[in-house]
Amino acid sequence: MKEAFEIPKLPLDDWIDAGLDFLTEHFAFLTKSISKHLEEVIYFIIDGLMFFPPGIIIIIFTLIAWRLADSKVALLTVIGLCFLWNLRLWEPTIETLTLVLVATFIAVLIAIPMGILAALSKSAYRIIMPLMDLMQTMPAFVYLIPAIPFFGLGAVSAIFSTVIFAMPPAIRLTCLGIKQVPRELIEAADAFGSTKLQKLFKLQLPLAIPTIMAGINQTIMLALSMVVIAAMIGAGGLGSEVWRAIQRLQPGMGFQAGIAIVILAIILDRISQKVGQKNRHYSA
C-alpha cells in the first residue's frame, strides 16, 4: 500500500547521468583522442620493454634500484623479478608495471601543483581537501563506469580511474610537507627579501621532498591495489590473471598472480621509500 505522504525520491542518479551524458556528448571527442594517444604511448612502452630479453630488463631495473636506493633493495629487485619471470608471468608483470608507473606519473604531475596550491592558498585548501576526502572514500569501482564512455574500454580508462583513486595522498602530503617547513626558516627567507617563488623553490619544496616522496609511495601502492579492478575493464596485466582465475575458480593461479602483485609492490615500495629517506635533512 502506498502511503499518502511518502517523500518523493531525489533523482540523484538521473541528475548524475544527465550531467555525465552532457559531458560525454561535448567532450568525448577530446577524451577519446587523448585516450588514443595515451594508449599508443603505453603500448609503445610495453612493446619496448618486451622487445628485449627479460634478463637484460632485469639487469637494468636492478641497476636503477641500486642507483635510487641501495644494494639491499637491488638484491630484492633481482630476486623478485627473476621469480616472476620463472612463473611465466613476465609479460603481465611488465604490463602492470607500465600501467602503475604511468598512472603514478600522471597522478604526481597533477598532485604536486595541487598540493602546492593547497599549501599556499587558504581558499584553495578549503576546496581541494574535501574533494580529496570524496575521491578517497568513493568506492574505486564507481570510477570505472564513467571512465568507459570517455576513454573506451582498456588501459586508459583503467589509468584514469587509478589516477583519481591514487592521487589524494600525493596531494595531501605535498601540502603537508610544505606547511611543515618551520616558520623561523620562512621568516629568515623573508628577511633576505625572498619572493614567494624563491621561497617555494629554494626552501619549501626542497624541505618537503621526503614528505612528498612518502605521498608518492602511497600513490604507487594505491595504484597497485587498483590493478585487479582495472582488469575488469580490460587493462590487462597481472590483474587480469587474477580476474581470470576468479572467473575460472582456479585458486592456485589466482594466488600465483596475487603473490606476483605483492612482490612488485614490495620492490616499488622499498625503492620509493629509500628515495625519500635519502633526501631527508636533519632539522638543525
Partner 1 sequence: MEKIRAVNLTKIFGSDPKLALALLSAGTGKDEIFNRTGQAVALSNVSFEVQAGEILVVMGLSGSGKSTLIRCINRLIEPTHGQVFIDGEDITNLAHHALLELRRQKFGMVFQHFALFPHRNLLHNVEFGLEIQHKDKAFRRDKARAALKSVGLDGWEEAMPHQLSGGMQQRVGLARALAVDPDILLMDEAFSALDPLIRGDMQNELISLQNRMKKTILFITHNLDEALKMGNRVVLMKNGQIVQVGTPEEIVTTPADDYVKRFVENVDKSKVLTAQSVLIPAGVVAYLDDTPRAVLEKMQSENLSDMLIIQRDNTLQGIVRQKSVEAAVSRGDKTITSMIDSDVPTVISSEPLTTLISILAKWPWQLPVVDEEYKLQGVVINTGILAALANEP
Q: Which residues bind partner 1 (CB under 8 A)?
A: 182, 184-185, 187-195, 198, 202-203, 206-207, 281-284
Q: State CA 28 to chain mean position distance.
A: 23
Minimum CB–partner distance for residue 277 and partner 1 (Å): 14
Nearest to 166 by CA among 230, 120, 238: 230
Minimum CB–partner distance for residue 242 and partner 1 (Å): 43
Q: Which is nearer to partner 1, 167 or 173 (CB)?
A: 173
Q: Which is nearer to partner 1, 198 or 250 (CB)?
A: 198
Q: Positive or negative CA dihedral for 33, 34, 35, 37?
A: positive
Minimum CB–partner distance for residue 28 and partner 1 (Å): 45
Q: Which is nearer to partner 1, 273 or 279 (CB)?
A: 279
Minimum CB–partner distance for residue 149 and partner 1 (Å): 47
Widest distance between CA atoms in the chain: 77
Q: Which residues contact 265 (CB under 8 A, 6 or more apart)?
A: 221, 224
Minimum CB–partner distance for residue 275 and partner 1 (Å): 15
Q: Which is nearer to partner 1, 199 or 270 (CB)?
A: 199
Q: Positive or negative CA dihedral for 149, 153, 154, 158?
A: positive
- Whole-number Å distance between alpha carbons of 137 and 250: 31
Q: Which is nearer to partner 1, 71 or 195 (CB)?
A: 195
Q: Is 247 exposed, middle or buried (0-12, 13-18, 19+ CB in 10 A)?
A: exposed
Q: Which is nearer to partner 1, 96 or 211 (CB)?
A: 211
Minimum CB–partner distance for residue 173 and partner 1 (Å): 18
Q: Which is nearer to partner 1, 19 or 206 (CB)?
A: 206
Cα end-to-end span (Å), the chain: 74
Contact indicator for 224, 100 with CB cutoff of 8 Å? yes
Minimum CB–partner distance for residue 188 and partner 1 (Å): 4
- Whole-number Å distance between alpha carbons of 204 and 181: 6
Nearest to 38 by CA among 110, 105, 125: 105
Q: What is the dihedral of CA 219, 221, 226, 227, to 10 degrees?
A: 120
- Whole-number Å distance between alpha carbons of 44 and 103: 15
Minimum CB–partner distance for residue 172 and partner 1 (Å): 22
Nearest to 111 by CA among 220, 226, 214, 212: 212
Q: Which is nearer to partner 1, 10 or 191 (CB)?
A: 191
